[in-house]
Amino acid sequence: MPTLFVGLDLSLKNIAAAFELEDTTEPIKRFSIPHNPIGVDFLVERIKDVTAKLGIDNVEIGMEATGNLWMQLIETLRSHPGLAHLEANVHNLNARQVKNFKKIYSEIPKNDPLDALMIAEFLRFRRLPEPPPTNEKYLALQKLTRHRFQLAQSLASEKNRFLTNLFLKFSAFRQQKPLSNPFGAASSALLTEFLTVDEIAEMSIEDLASFLMQKSNNSFANPHEVAKAVNQAARNSYRLNKCLADPVNLVLSMTLENVRFFERQIAAVDKAITKEIAAFKSEATILLSVPGLGPVFTAGIIAEVHDIRRFYSDSALAKFASIVWKKSQSGEFDSDDTPMSRAGNKYLRYYLIEAANSLRMHNDEFAQFYQSKYRESTTHHHKRACVLTARKLVRLIFNLLHKGVLYKTPDKRKEDRADNPLPESTTPGELVRHITRRRRAQRALKIHRD
């Protein structure tokens, strides 16, 4: 079936468009339209004119998923009445994949019309993703969970900035960790109310213990021991140059305010997410049955996965989340270094890994798996064990959602198998055929994945 490929390169104010046919010819010159509804109507008219003139019924339209510039455009095109008589598919393409595809054409310059043509050329190769289902309830939840992701990234950045400057003022506090949480109430007061470590070092143990108990709301079981550790850390710290004392104190104070601000923002968006997830009663009930999967992690997973039937296996879901490893092999060489892919959905990857970190603390099955992978790792033990635990979680999520069943502990699953054995009338031949069919299906699935 003849097809028209339409590549769109988006910017804030304009959209560059390029039309291409299957024989690589361009039926009309490349053009630019304003990035607004009037421009979209003009684009649709051009598509209608070209398809009517050439007798084409199938149209593939593609654009890069750049920021939020694509979201309203793609929904407008998918619902535009001017394209209703055509078999039109609209794709939001992975920008990294398009960028790597452009490297084939190394000699061409870079400008918006040529970028649009490269997108049309990418469409012509027909390595296209299935368009996700358009459902406003997913978009609403996704907007909240992705905003929370950005807030979490900002919070982590502010905490790192605080700790970097903290070493300048109180180096041994970072090294010896006399207080376990540098962002707790007692630590925050200690690090911001005293201008120099000399003031802490010269303070009596009794007064320092009283200060810590007051600021921590009497949360220390042995305040004198804590005060001694803080005092010793102050004595073991570098002394900051006097000209830097005021600037460093100001930076620490303001950075700590930013940390508190982002923590409040995350708490507020968590409430909104918990409220929004009520629209996904079926999926949420299933995932919340897993100990350690709270409403926020569950919402982040549902918002990115959408309908689990989009994925034919847990491997396809893992690939979508980039929890896969790139194999490097040539001839008889097979590399031991297999870095994790970064080309998939970063939001889903984040929520899966954070959920895995939660499960290792609240779920015995996943805690045992995490510990085994932690011991097997030679470097970056926690990170590697968390990612591998997340891969196990992907398999669990896929199976639970596909089957529509609640989570059961390993002991409960064994009991169910014992209570429902194979019928006694099952002959050895039937059992062999059952196992053979299952193995064939697994091999066929593996071939399809590869």
pTM of full prediction above 0.85: no
Which pLDDT does position 303 carry in this prediction?
93
Query: What is the 3-state secondary structure of the chain?
Result: CCEEEEEEEECCCEEEEEEECCCCCCCCCCEEEECCHHHHHHHHHHHHHHHHHHCCCEEEEEEECCCCCCHHHHHHHHCCHHHCCCEEEEEEECHHHHHHHHCCCCCCCCCHHHHHHHHHHHHHCCCCCCCCCCCHHHHHHHHHHHHHHHHHHHHHHHHHHHHHHHHHHCHHHHHHCCCCCCCCHHHHHHHHHCCCHHHHHCCCHHHHHHHHHHHCCCCCCCHHHHHHHHHHHHHCCCCCCHHHHHHHHHHHHHHHHHHHHHHHHHHHHHHHHHHHHHHHHHHHHHHHCCCCCCHHHHHHHHHHHCCHHHCCCHHHHHHHCCCCECCCEECCEECCCCCECCCCCHHHHHHHHHHHHHHHHHCHHHHHHHHHHHHHCCCCHHHHHHHHHHHHHHHHHHHHHHHCCCCCCHHHHHHHHHHCCCCCCCCHHHHHHHHHHHHHHHHHHHHHHC
Q: Is the pLDDT of residue 130 over 60?
A: no
Top-confidence residue, 282 or 133: 282
Single-letter amino acid code for the residue at 82: G
CA dist list (Å): 201 to 215, 360, 450: 18, 40, 63
For residues 65-87, give the mean pLDDT: 88
pLDDT band at 265 (very low <50, low <70, confident <90, very high): very high
Residue 329 pLDDT level (bands cut at 50, 70, 90): low
- The full length of the chain comes to 450
The fold for domain 3-131 equals: Nucleotidyltransferase; domain 5 (3.30.420)
**Residue 57: is its pLDDT beyond 80?**
yes
How much is the pLDDT for 443? 61
pLDDT at residue 381 is higher than 80: yes
pLDDT exceeds 80 at position 133: no
Percent of the chain clearing pLDDT 90 (strictly above): 62
* Per-residue pLDDT tens over the stretch 197-236: 999 999 999 999 999 999 988 888 899 999 999 999 999 9
Q: Between these two residues, 131 and 96, which has the higher pLDDT value?
A: 96
Residue 191 pLDDT exceeds 80? yes
Domain residue ranges in the chain: 3-131, 158-263, 278-330+337-419, 423-450
More confident position, 276 or 422: 276
Residue 184, strand partner residues: none
Residue 246 reports pLDDT greater than 60: yes
- Asked if residue 421 has pLDDT above 70, the reply is no
Range name among 34-43, 116-125, 437-446 with the lowest pLDDT average: 437-446
Q: Tell me the pLDDT of the chain averaged across its residues.
A: 87
Query: What average pLDDT score do residues 227-247 get?
Result: 91
Q: Could you tell me the pLDDT band of residue 331, with boundaries at 50, 70 and 90?
A: low
Each residue of 142-167: pLDDT tens digit?
A: 999 999 999 999 999 999 999 999 99
Nearest one of 240, 190, 191, 237 to 210, comparing CA atoms: 190
